[in-house]
Amino acid sequence: MFTGIIESVGKVKSMQPTGGDIRLTVESNDLDFSDVKLGDSIASNGICLTVVELGNNHYSVDVSRETIARTALEALKAGHTVNLEKAMLPTTRFGGHIVAGHVDGVGVVSKIQQDARSIYIEIEIPQELAHYTATKGSITVDGISLTTNLVRDNIVSLNIIPHTAQVTNIAKHWLVGNKVNIEVDIVARYLERLLNKSQSGGMNAANPQSQITEAFLADNGFMK
Residue spans of beta strands (DSSP E) within the chain: 8-18, 21-27, 41-44, 47-54, 58-63, 81-86, 105-115, 118-124, 138-141, 144-147, 150-152, 155-160, 179-184
Task: Please answer whether residues 84 and 90 qualify as being in contact, where contact means their C-beta atoms are separated by less than 8 angstroms.
Answer: no
Q: Quick one: what percent of the chain has pLDDT higher than 70?
A: 88
Alpha-carbon Rg of the chain, whole angstroms? 19
CA distance linking residue 44 with residue 108, whole number of Å: 18
- Average pLDDT over every residue of 77-95: 88
Supply the pLDDT for residue 206.
Answer: 46
Give the count of alpha carbons within 13 A of 26, CB side only.
29
Phi and psi torsions of 98, nearest 5° = -70, 115
Supply the pLDDT for residue 201.
Answer: 60
pLDDT higher than 60, residue 211? no
Supply the pLDDT for residue 210.
Answer: 53
Q: How confident is the model at residue 187 (pLDDT cuts 50, 70, 90)?
A: confident
Supply the pLDDT for residue 95.
Answer: 77
CA distance linking residue 156 with residue 102, whole number of Å: 19
Q: Which residues contact 210 (CB under 8 A, 6 or more apart)?
A: 194, 197, 198, 203
* Entry pTM: 0.85
CA distance linking residue 119 with residue 163, whole number of Å: 11
For the stretch 189-199, pLDDT in tens is 888 877 776 66
Mean pLDDT for all residues in the chain = 89
pLDDT higher than 90, residue 80? yes
Task: Please answer whether residues 45 and 72 qualify as being in contact, where contact means their C-beta atoms are separated by less than 8 angstroms.
Answer: yes
CA distance linking residue 121 with residue 115, whole number of Å: 9
For the stretch 18-52, pLDDT in tens is 888 999 999 999 999 999 999 999 999 999 999 99
DSSP letters, 52-74, are EEE-SSEEEEEE-HHHHHHSSGG
Q: How many CB atoms lie within 10 A of CB 37?
A: 8
